């Protein structure tokens, strides 16, 4: 069964819960709650990565490395220190990653598809794991970033190129994860195609992490009966369906906001796949 990575956005503008955990103590309390609910990893980010497009408009606002460090380091120190949590730092800035790893994080979650060599070098020096998430540009959901010859083949090829760059920086293959980057530089149909093809990513030899939680593709695939789009915090059913598919596809981890519900889902699916008691 996959690991559950719980999301902690220490930001004012993340697409789903921006502002709720900008205060360090609120973020730490949320992290403790996610651990109690069954999270295996806490993924902490200090800069939103919401992509520009029709759903989120202009997208995220860039912040300085100094501000990002100020947001995440106090949170990571508590979560990785006192609570002994496995912590991932969601960043594209080498200086932020270095500070976060120094504070106790052990994974770098790179939403930039390993385009910055120094980021992988920082991870390698710290002996950290590394997530290569597929992305183009800043994730804008519009051409040319959404122009693919074959979205599954192209995304996998670009991810493998990114993983190669991370290996060249000194991170061993066993410490590298691939993330297809659902919703980043991808339309809803393209995201659906990736979800349907997770087996191809698993055959890469790297561990696979998928982040379907509350993404906008859910609102496009399953609009409200009235025809309107469900808000980010009203996409639990669609998220659960996507996570169930990820579990059935045998991915190694899923990144979610609603840990309690998804832990139930994974545990029940695990029970359903076990041999019946007394069966031959």
Return the active site residues: 215, 255
User: 5 CB contacts (<8 Å, ≥6 apart)?
Assistant: 39, 40, 41, 42, 43, 88, 209, 211, 253, 254, 255, 256
Burial group, residue 225, by CB count within 10 angstroms (0-12, 13-18, 19+): exposed
Place of tokens 């998220």: 239
| Distance in angstroms (rounded) separating the CA atoms of residues 93 and 95 | 6
What stretch of H or E contains 93? none
**For the chain, what is the radius of gyration of the CA atoms?**
18
Q: Which stretches of the chain are DSSP H helices?
A: 24-37, 65-76, 94-102, 117-126, 151-168, 188-196, 198-202, 216-221, 236-248, 259-273
Q: Are 194 and 159 in contact (CB under 8 A)?
A: no
- 215's tokens: 């993404």
First to last CA, the chain: 23
DSSP 57: B
**Please, what sign has the CA dihedral across residues 131, 137, 142, 143?**
negative
């Amino acid at each position: 069964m996959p690991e559950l990575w719980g999301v902690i956005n220490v930001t004012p503008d993340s697409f789903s819960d921006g502002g709720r955990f900008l205060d360090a103590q609120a973020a730490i309390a949320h992290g403790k709650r996610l651990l109690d609910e069954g999270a295996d990893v806490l993924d902490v980010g200090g800069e939103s990565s919401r992509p520009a497009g029709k759903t989120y408009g202009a997208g995220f606002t860039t912040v300085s490395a100094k501000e990002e460090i100020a947001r995440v380091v106090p949170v990571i120190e508590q979560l990785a220190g006192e609570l002994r949590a496995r912590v991932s730092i969601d960043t594209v800035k080498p200086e932020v990653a270095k500070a976060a790893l120094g504070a106790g994080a052990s994974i770098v979650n790179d939403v930039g598809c390993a385009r910055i060599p120094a980021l992988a070098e920082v991870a390698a020096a710290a002996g950290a794991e590394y997530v290569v998430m597929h992305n183009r540009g800043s994730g804008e959901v519009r051409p040319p970033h959404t122009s693919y010859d074959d979205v599954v083949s192209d995304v996998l090829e670009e991810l493998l190129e990114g993983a190669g760059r991370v290996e060249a920086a000194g991170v061993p293959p066993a410490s590298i994860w691939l993330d297809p980057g659902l919703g980043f530089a991808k339309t809803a149909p393209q995201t659906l195609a990736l979800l349907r093809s997770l087996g191809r990513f698993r055959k890469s030899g790297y561990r696979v992490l998928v982040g379907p939680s509350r993404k906008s593709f859910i609102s496009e695939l399953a609009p409200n009966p009235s025809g309107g789009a469900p808000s980010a915090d009203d996409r639990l059913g669609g998220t659960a369906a996507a996570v169930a598919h990820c579990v059935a596809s045998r991915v190694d981890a899923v990144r979610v906001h609603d840990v309690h519900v998804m832990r139930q889902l994974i545990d029940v699916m695990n029970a359903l796949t076990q041999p019946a008691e007394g069966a031959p």
